[in-house]
Amino acid sequence: MTAPTPIRRALVSVSDKTHLEVLAQILIDSQVEVLSTGGTYQALEALGVAVVKVSEYTGAPEILGGRVKTLHPKIHGGILALPTPAHEAELRLHGIAPIDLVVVNLYPFRQVVAEPGSSFEDAVENIDIGGPAMVRAAAKNWQRVAVVVDPADYTRLGEALREHGGALPESLRRSLMRKAYAHTAAYDAAIAGYLARFDDVGLSVGTDALPDRLFVAGAAQGELRYGENPHQPARFYATELAAGEPAGLHRAVQHQGKALSYNNLLDADAALGLCRDLSRLGPAAAVIKHVSPCGAAIARGDEALADVYVRAREADAESAFGGIVALSGPVDRAVAERLAETFLEVVIAPSFTPEALALLAGKKNLRLLSLEDMLVGTGPEAQPALRLRSIAGGLLAQREDAVTVAAAQGKVVTRRAPTASELRDLELAQIVGKAVRSNAIVLCKDGATVGIGGGQTSRVEAARQATARAGARAQGAVLASDAFFPFRDGVDAAAAAGVTAIVQPGGSVRDEEVVTAADEHGLAMVFTGQRHFRH
């Protein structure tokens, strides 16, 4: 390959004008001729760049309300021409000058469709046509043309121009080319994903519908410490599928501690999801170990968050060691003091006060993650997020599980109905049970879990595990089962431990036998008709 020629002519057309003043100075210092359009032209001119309008250069005006600006042979010929005698002769014949640098980013399609009240017409008008065409053309001709789609790359562009006498090395042009194609691919995926929300006559397909085609595009958020095990490399990608969902972990701010691992993020996500669900019942704390809850609690009256956390931790203090904690409110000094009492891997909360950060700074290996709007958009009216899991040969996709039939909305099937306090604990147990690996049994009492049995191959064994962990605390507790009891043995085990009320989906061929067992023991039982398996 011949040595790269200096950058003599650039085309700049950017929707995102972040750091445009940096680019302007680079173009001025490098004495680059600049072509531009619309708002970018005005902004560059105001920054002192000697800029030429594309319409003046091509001799063709912008038409159709700006829909056509750069779709012209003098633009695409200048970008796509190879440095060969034949192409150079053609350029001279048609009066086309080579374009050596293309700085383009695209219409803000994602931002527009994310705005409340955005219409289908708004979305269509923000589908960029000329921008992707120029980016792809420049990337195709990367051996001669540099293409920049990210304002974060302006600085290294300027440094390379200074270091290489106004030219750009092959390694940088190749890097920019890869980034450009990833940029247009992600943009197209966002458009296709949005359009999948509508049927062939333009009507919304509804929140439960899944698309016929799935487009997944994501940007790496940096290397993780390792995967599930230290010998496995891993990365975290923020995907376009997360648009419109409550804030995800890619937006969390890490205040201290070593880099996160794959397992840390899985556990933090489980803790965040459970805390979000519980926060609908009041101030909440969740403790997660190996993607399953080992303790959770909600406030009793005006109870302080520090005390709520302690009750969640003490639900299974042994398992909480080395766990991940999510809290629904800010971490102040009082909460921080209680957090510092136990070895923890990660704490995630909306915020940390300066006093809390100072106190926890002594815990060098503790990662503190703040996610300011972690509870925004998590109400029962929110659309369940799309969740993916990979298997051999492809991806499984489903909507996130949501408790839409709470215990209080269920059908009382026993002679005794639950009391108000039992109903509150049943709802807590039901929400926690949704986050436990099936088969799952959860015991709660006075606004906190006291025993959890999960990941068992029989329901009665899950009940035995939960009641054994609860011990004496099972007396007066309530129980939630993620699926129906196939036999009465699980109810008998719960009653023997002192459980007073049960919530379950119902639907077994032996429901009558199970309800009879509950009546024999004087238990209250509620059927919700809604199963919550988690595999």
Q: What is the pLDDT of residues 422-447, one digit of tens each?
A: 999 999 999 999 999 989 999 999 99
Q: pLDDT tens, 269-295?
A: 999 999 999 999 999 999 999 999 999
Average pLDDT, the chain: 89
Scanning the structure block, which residue is given the tokens 């704490």? 347
Among 2-16, 136-150, 394-408, 473-487, name the one with the lowest average pLDDT.
Answer: 2-16
Among 91-105, 116-130, 164-178, 233-247, name the one with the lowest average pLDDT.
Answer: 233-247
Q: What angle do CA 23, 183, 371 make, to 5 degrees?
A: 90
Annotated catalytic residue, options 17, 53, 179, 290: 290
Q: Distance (Å, rounded) from C-alpha 84 to C-alpha 399?
A: 54
| Interval 396-417 mean pLDDT | 91
Query: What SS3 state is found at 443?
Result: strand
Spatial neighbors of 33 by CB under 8 A, at least 6 apart, are 8, 9, 10, 50, 52
Q: Tell me the backbone φ, ψ of residue 227, rounded to 5 degrees.
A: -85, -145
| Interval 360-369 mean pLDDT | 93
Q: pLDDT tens, 321-330?
A: 999 999 999 9
Cβ-contact 528, 503 below 8 angstroms = yes
Asked if the model's pLDDT at residue 415 lies above 80, the reply is yes
Q: Could you tell me the pLDDT band of residue 130, with boundaries at 50, 70 and 90?
A: confident
Spatial neighbors of 430 by CB under 8 A, at least 6 apart, are 403, 406, 407, 442, 480, 503, 528, 532
Asked if the model's pLDDT at residue 2 lies above 60, the reply is no
Q: Could you tell me the pLDDT band of residue 203, with boundaries at 50, 70 and 90?
A: low
Among 196-210, 285-299, 318-332, name the one with the lowest average pLDDT.
Answer: 196-210
State residue 207's pLDDT score: 59
Which domains are delineated in the chain?
9-195 (3.40.50.1380), 249-370 (3.40.140.20), 407-527 (3.40.140.20)
State residue 472's pLDDT score: 94
Task: Output the six-digit token pair for 242.
Answer: 């997360």
Q: pLDDT tens, 378-392?
A: 666 667 788 888 889
Q: pLDDT tens, 395-404?
A: 888 888 888 8
Query: Percentage of residues in the chain with pLDDT exceeding 70?
Result: 95
- Catalytic residue list contains 521: no
Closest CA to 145 of 182, 104, 177, 184: 177
Q: Tell me the backbone φ, ψ of residue 528, rounded to 5 degrees.
A: -105, -20
| Interval 333-347 mean pLDDT | 96
Asked if the model's pLDDT at residue 35 lies above 70, the reply is yes
Annotated catalytic residue, options 140, 179, 250, 255: 140
- Catalytic residue list contains 140: yes
Parallel, antiparallel, or unpaired: how do β-strands 284-289 and 323-327 relate?
A: antiparallel
State residue 164's pLDDT score: 87
Q: Could you tell me the pLDDT band of residue 331, with boundaries at 50, 70 and 90?
A: very high
Q: Distance (Å, rounded) from C-alpha 309 to C-alpha 288?
A: 12
Closest CA to 153 of 126, 134, 180: 180
| Interval 165-174 mean pLDDT | 89
Q: Could you tell me the pLDDT band of residue 3, with boundaries at 50, 70 and 90?
A: low
Instruction: Specify the amino acid at residue 53.
Output: K
State residue 283's pLDDT score: 95
Cβ-contact 294, 287 below 8 angstroms = yes
Q: Could you tell me the pLDDT band of residue 57, with boundaries at 50, 70 and 90?
A: confident
Exposed, middle or buried: residue 293 (CB in 10 Å: 0-12, 13-18, 19+)? buried
Q: Could you tell me the pLDDT band of residue 77, with boundaries at 50, 70 and 90?
A: confident
Closest CA to 451 of 436, 431, 473, 430: 473
Q: Distance (Å, rounded) from C-alpha 64 to C-alpha 59?
A: 16
| Interval 286-311 mean pLDDT | 95
Q: How many CB atoms lie within 10 A of CB 253?
A: 11
Exposed, middle or buried: residue 31 (CB in 10 Å: 0-12, 13-18, 19+)? exposed
Asked if the model's pLDDT at residue 365 lies above 60, the reply is yes
Three-state helix/strand/coil letters over 152-206: HHHHHHHHHHHHCCCCCCHHHHHHHHHHHHHHHHHHHHHHHHHHCCECCCCCECC
Scanning the structure block, which residue is given the tokens 């032996």? 510
Does the pTM exceed 0.95?
Answer: no
